Amino acid sequence: MKNTIRDLRATRGWSQAHLAELLDVSRQTVIAIETGRYDPSLPLAFALARLFEQPIESIFFPDQETA
Q: What is the pTM of this model?
A: 0.88
3-state SS string for the chain: CEECHHHHHHHCCCCHHHHHHHHCCCHHHHHHHHCCCCCCCHHHHHHHHHHHCCCHHHHEECCCCCC
Please name every residue paired with 52 in a beta bridge, in sequence order, or none if there are none. Answer: none
Residue-wise pLDDT tens digits, 5-41: 999 999 999 999 999 999 999 999 999 999 999 999 9
Contact (CB, 8 A) for 19 and 30? yes
